[in-house]
Structure formats: C-alpha cells, structure tokens
Amino acid sequence: MNASAVPPTSSNPLSQPFDEWQRAGAALRTAESHGASDDEVRPLAEDVLRTRVAVVRDRIAAGWRPSHEVLRELEVDAQLVREADARGT
C-alpha cells in the first residue's frame, strides 16, 4: 500500500498537511507490517517526519500556540529532515 491509497479525511484544502501526514504514517505502518527492509522503511519514516513538521508549521501559521516541548520536538524533527535531505534520501 502506498501513501496515496489512504483517502483524504476531508475535501477542505486546510486539511491537506494533516491528510499527507496520515497517508505517510499509513504507508510506513504498512511497510513495517509487511517486513520491509531498513532501506525501504527509511524514506517512509523521513516522509512521516517531513509531513509532521508541515502539519505543526501549518497549525502555527493558523494561530496555534504550541507548548515549548512541542516546539523543541519540532526543531528535532526539522533537523532530522534537513539531515535526510542532505543525504539525498
């Protein structure tokens, strides 16, 4: 199953980052449950991180004020995404 096999939760364009995160998570869970190799799972896990960062940034732009803990986690996730991008994966 790929990420596009999970239907959007809403036709509302404001839910797009959340829908993408949900699809990325579903693709990762599917791959893991089917015994995918580390090389197959790594880019899917990176997609989960990338889309989670997008969801949090989207919510912040919409006015959400996250806790300091969430902001720290966001920075860690963003750093991991930057490292993955630098590797070219």
Q: What torsion, rounded to 10 degrees, do the Cα atoms 48, 50, 54, 55 define?
A: 20
pLDDT in tens, 7-65: 445 566 668 999 999 999 999 999 999 999 999 999 999 999 999 999 999 999 999 99
Residues 68-80 pLDDT 10s:
999 999 999 999 9
Report pTM: 0.80
The domain limits of the chain are 13-87
Is residue 8 within 8 Å of 19, Cβ to Cβ? yes
